């Protein structure tokens, strides 16, 4: 291998320089230079229109190469960002693999041509797929570090995770650590602060590297960060080891990384390195730094360039002479040329492949494998009781399951458990679980929704099965980017290398009396609009049992919408259907057969439709009701067959009338079943405004039985 050829040039009995032997110093330089040359080559290819995007690691090579000496590929868990090329080279990502990503080749191991270059990801090296979002990685890395501690105490969970799909990449070692990096700009994201809070509170083995090149595109660091120094700001986090270094100097970086890595390995808590680096090549090829950086600044950066500085150092210290440097560089150039030639000749992904890995290829939650008979027993349970019972059943045999969110534990202060009944969720949906399964499996989180979902994703990436709770649908928005850009996309963007089988339970919906705009909203269509995510919304306790179990046993992210108004109703209770009762996703429930008209509905409107149908029955009108219960996927067969039977259809839903979930169903019926219709498709839905606190106002906003009855009569007049 080329690297070894060069290493032989060093004198075997050479003394150490700053604690580093000559081979290591040469290895660092070679990696830094290779990183720079790969950037240069990509820039050339971009200018020749042979690749489509370029973002460089130039200026960041020294700190990244130094860090790479301490992280162990396939053992430590790595959440790098796009300027970590030298680190990834150190860990074993090859120049060819990097250039395969640049050309968007089928065999690009990070994404199969789906993501931009420099979005690293390789499961065999524990390098977790990264998105383009600045900052999302921090909370995911927290989840990964929580998995480290969890596996330490729960070997059975590790064994179970290894048996699941992609289990070949599940691993854990006693002194492993998690690494996460980002730029100075990314530290302004809330997720950075949310992550530090949890990492310090839980003393996680998490190493942060902030690569501060003084700019976030054109925004200078003093505008980005109060006082201009992130390390100054974070020094008061308890237990956080903080160090600052010149990240353009590999030797200084080496000693700082060594100490920080050791701190994390010894389980003393998290560490943060603030490395001052440069950014000599503009933000990306789409940016021109001359538009906002002065000539003096750019000259100063050039003087600090890590590559030229370190080459000079090696010559001055007598480690390599000028000729040896030139020969090393020529060798690297050859390596890059060969890799580029190979990458340019590489096969492109097939057009058909675009649909692959949106969902799990291993577990199909809509398949007959999830059909099961009920074994009803015990007293009837409400919907909310059934949530807790189903979680308890599944947790009993699957130690990978963790349950967390705001207020979900019985009591965080364990001593109190002897004297108090316990909270177990604001709706009691998780009551008793902490008491039964321990506070490492069931725990409260800080009030920070992005980190709840991000942590869940980090745990799921490492093989756990998190069931996270978002207390109210109205407060899901801080987590939106973690859901839409991370959870939903993880499997697809890594071309099936990583997965995100998280269950997010969310209390949703109105009809509350006094809920108001922030405790009553719907909005399921926003999430059914996200490929990669399964969305279900049961309206009975029996469906809760079946669908929640399927959600947990499936291998995709699932949003499990629990209607608050239905939690404790007497009319939808059920006896326990047995510990293995599952219901396939995408299968509607026939609530009531009828012949004159069909109502397609779900959630709290199901019962309103039933009441309307009972009234209409007395007037001789026969209504068929379909409860979709699974919104993505949904049961088009059931919809089509009821429309073919009655030829008149109402789509009734609590979401907004315009662009709400039912609008799409109505559009598809009009589009594909037009010939079957004897009347236009009608929607009965919420007004396009907000749920008000005043009950009278809420009544007019949300769909009511009377609205359904009126719509039925109107349609029958056609």
Ligand X SMILES: Cc1ncc(C[n+]2csc(CCOP(=O)(O)OP(=O)(O)O)c2C)c(N)n1
Q: Among all chains, which residue has been given the structure tokens 């060093």?
A: 10
Q: Given the rule CB under 6 A, which of 182-190, 289-297, 498-506, 638-646 is the region that contacts ligand X? A: 182-190
247 binds ligand X (CB under 6 A): no
- Closest contact distance (angstroms) between CB of 185 and ligand X is 3
495: region left, alpha or beta (phi > 0 left; psi from -120 to 50 alpha):
left
- Pick the closer one to Mg ion by CB: 278 or 642: 278
Query: Residue 673: enclosing H or E segment and its boundaries?
Result: none
Structure tokens at 228: 């201009």
Residue 83 interacts with, from Mg ion, ligand X, none (CB under 5-8 Å by kind): ligand X
Q: Given the rule CB under 5 A, which of 148-156, 181-189, 499-507, 550-558 is the region that contacts Mg ion? A: 181-189
- Closest contact distance (angstroms) between CB of 134 and ligand X is 4
Structure tokens at 576: 């326990």
Angle between helices 22-47 and 306-316 (to 10 degrees): 150
- Pick the closer one to Mg ion by CB: 213 or 276: 213
Q: Binding mask 65-84 vs ligand X (x if CB under 6 A, - otherwise)?
A: ------------------x-
184 binds ligand X (CB under 6 A): yes
C-alpha separations of 662 from 2, 39, 525, 527, 690 in Å: 62, 49, 8, 13, 18
φ, ψ dihedrals at 84, nearest 5° = -100, 35
- Closest contact distance (angstroms) between CB of 486 and ligand X is 11
Q: Given the rule CB under 6 A, which of 19-27, 96-104, 208-216, 338-346 is the region that contacts ligand X? A: 208-216
Residue 283 interacts with, from ligand X, Mg ion, none (CB under 5-8 Å by kind): ligand X
Q: Given the rule CB under 6 A, which of 43-51, 130-138, 419-427, 505-513 is the region that contacts ligand X? A: 130-138
Q: How many Å from the N-terminal Cα to the C-terminal Cα in the chain?
A: 80
Candidates 23, 42, 61, 184; binder of Mg ion (CB under 5 A) is 184
213 binds Mg ion (CB under 5 A): yes
Candidates 112, 185, 603, 633; binder of ligand X (CB under 6 A) is 185
489 binds ligand X (CB under 6 A): no
**Residue 604 in contact with residue 540, Cβ under 8 Å?**
no
Residue 383 burial (CB count, 10 A): 27
Q: Given the rule CB under 6 A, which of 214-222, 379-387, 448-456, 673-681 is the region that contacts ligand X? A: 214-222
SS3 of 305-327:
CHHHHHHHHHHHCCCCCHHHHHH
183 binds Mg ion (CB under 5 A): yes
98 binds ligand X (CB under 6 A): no
* 607 flagged as catalytic: no
The three-point CA angle 266-271-276 to 5° equals 140
Is the peptide bond between 120 and the residue preceding it cis, with omega within 30 degrees of 0? no
- DSSP E strand stretches across 565-673: 574-576, 589-592, 597-601, 623-627, 630-632, 649-656
Angle between helices 95-103 and 322-344 (to 10 degrees): 40
- Pick the closer one to ligand X by CB: 75 or 217: 217
- Closest contact distance (angstroms) between CB of 183 and Mg ion is 4
- Closest contact distance (angstroms) between CB of 693 and ligand X is 34
Candidates 111, 213, 445, 520; binder of ligand X (CB under 6 A) is 213
**Distance between CA atoms of 66 and 60, rounded to whole angstroms?**
11
189 binds Mg ion (CB under 5 A): no
483 binds ligand X (CB under 6 A): no
**Residue 628 in contact with residue 664, Cβ under 8 Å?**
no
Residue 146 interacts with, from Mg ion, ligand X, none (CB under 5-8 Å by kind): none
Which residue among the candidates 119, 241, 519, 607 is catalytic per the annotation? 519
Candidates 24, 54, 56, 134; binder of ligand X (CB under 6 A) is 134
**Distance between CA atoms of 633 and 366, rounded to whole angstroms?**
8
Q: Binding mask 268-287 vs ligand X (x if CB under 6 A, - otherwise)?
A: -----------x---x----
109 binds ligand X (CB under 6 A): no
SS3 of 415-457:
HHHHCCCCCCCCCCCCCCHHHHHCCCCEEECCCCHHHHHHHHH
- Closest contact distance (angstroms) between CB of 279 and ligand X is 6
Which parts of this chain interact with ligand X (CB under 6 A)? 83, 132-134, 182-186, 211, 213, 215-217, 279, 283
Which parts of this chain interact with Mg ion (CB under 5 A)? 183-185, 213, 216
Q: Which residues does the annotation mark as catalytic?
A: 519
């Amino acid at each position: 291998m080329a690297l070894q050829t060069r290493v032989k040039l060093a004198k075997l009995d050479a003394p150490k320089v700053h604690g580093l032997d000559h081979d290591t110093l040469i290895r660092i330089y070679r990696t830094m230079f290779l990183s720079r040359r790969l950037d240069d080559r990509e820039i050339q290819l971009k200018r020749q229109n042979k690749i489509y995007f370029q973002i460089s690691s130039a200026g960041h090579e020294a700190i990244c190469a130094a860090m790479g000496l301490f992280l162990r590929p396939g053992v430590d868990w790595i959440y790098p960002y796009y300027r970590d090329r030298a680190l990834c080279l150190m860990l074993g990502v090859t120049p060819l693999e990097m250039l395969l990503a640049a050309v968007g080749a089928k065999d690009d191991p990070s994404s199969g041509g789906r993501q931009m270059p420099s979005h690293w990801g390789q499961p065999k090296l524990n390098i977790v797929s990264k998105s383009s979002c600045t900052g999302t990685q921090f909370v995911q890395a927290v989840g990964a570090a929580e998995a480290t501690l969890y596996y330490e105490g729960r070997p059975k969970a590790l064994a179970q995770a290894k048996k699941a799909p992609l289990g070949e990449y599940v691993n854990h070692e006693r002194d492993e650590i998690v690494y996460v990096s980002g730029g100075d700009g990314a530290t302004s994201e809330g997720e950075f602060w949310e992550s530090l809070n949890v990492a310090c509170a839980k003393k996680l083995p998490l190493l942060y590297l902030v690569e501060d090149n003084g700019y976030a595109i054109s925004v200078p660091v003093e505008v980005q960060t109060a006082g201009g120094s992130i390390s100054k700001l974070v020094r008061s986090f308890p237990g956080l080891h903080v160090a600052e270094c010149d990240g353009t100097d590999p030797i200084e970086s080496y000693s700082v990384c060594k100490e920080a890595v050791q701190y994390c390995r010894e389980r003393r808590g998290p560490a943060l390195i603030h490395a001052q680096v440069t950014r000599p090549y503009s933000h990306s090829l789409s940016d021109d730094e001359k538009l906002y950086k002065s000539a003096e600044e750019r000259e100063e950066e050039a003087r600090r360039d890590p590559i030229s500085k370190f080459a000079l150092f090696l010559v001055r210290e007598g480690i390599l002479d000028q000729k040896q440097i030139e020969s090393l560089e020529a060798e690297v150039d050859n390596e890059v040329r060969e890799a580029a030639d190979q990458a340019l000749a590489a096969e492109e992904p097939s057009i058909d492949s675009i649909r692959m890995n949106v969902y799990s290829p291993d577990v199909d939650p809509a398949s007959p494998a999830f059909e099961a008979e009920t074994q009803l027993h015990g007293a009837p349970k409400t919907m909310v009781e059934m949530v807790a019972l189903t979680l308890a059943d599944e947790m009993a045999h699957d130690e990978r399951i963790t349950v967390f969110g705001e207020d979900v534990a019985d009591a965080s202060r364990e001593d109190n458990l002897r004297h108090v009944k316990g909270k177990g969720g604001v709706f009691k949906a998780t009551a008793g679980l902490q008491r039964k399964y321990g506070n490492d499996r069931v725990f409260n989180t800080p009030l920070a929704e992005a980190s709840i979902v991000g942590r869940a994703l980090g745990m799921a990436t490492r093989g756990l099965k998190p069931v996270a709770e978002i207390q109210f649908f109205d407060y899901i928005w801080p987590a939106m980017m973690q859901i839409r850009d991370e959870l939903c996309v993880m499997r697809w963007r890594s071309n099936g290398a990583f997965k995100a089988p998280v269950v997010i339970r969310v209390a949703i919906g109105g009809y509350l009396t006094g809920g108001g705009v922030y405790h009553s909203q719907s909005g399921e269509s926003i999430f059914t609009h996200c490929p990669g995510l399964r969305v279900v919304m049961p309206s009975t306790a029996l469906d809760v049992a079946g669908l929640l179990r399927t959600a947990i046993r499936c291998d995709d992210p699932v949003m499990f919408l629990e209607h608050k108004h239905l939690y404790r109703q007497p009319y939808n209770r059920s006896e326990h259907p047995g510990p293995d009762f599952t219901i396939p996703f995408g299968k509607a429930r026939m609530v009531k057969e009828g012949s004159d008209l069909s109502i397609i509905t779900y959630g709290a409107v199901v019962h309103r439709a039933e009441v309307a149908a009972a009234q209409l029955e007395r007037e001789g009108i026969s209504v068929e009701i379909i409860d979709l219960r699974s919104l993505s996927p949904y049961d088009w067969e059931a919809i089509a067959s009821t429309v073919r039977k009655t030829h008149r259809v109402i789509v009734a839903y609590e979401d907004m009338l315009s662009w709400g979930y039912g609008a799409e169903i109505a559009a598809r019926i009009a589009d594909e079943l037009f010939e079957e219709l004897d009347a236009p498709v009608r929607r009965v839905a919420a007004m396009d405004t907000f749920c008000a606190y005043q009950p009278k106002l809420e009544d007019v906003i949300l769909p009511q039985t009377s609205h359904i009855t009126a719509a039925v009569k109107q349609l029958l007049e056609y």
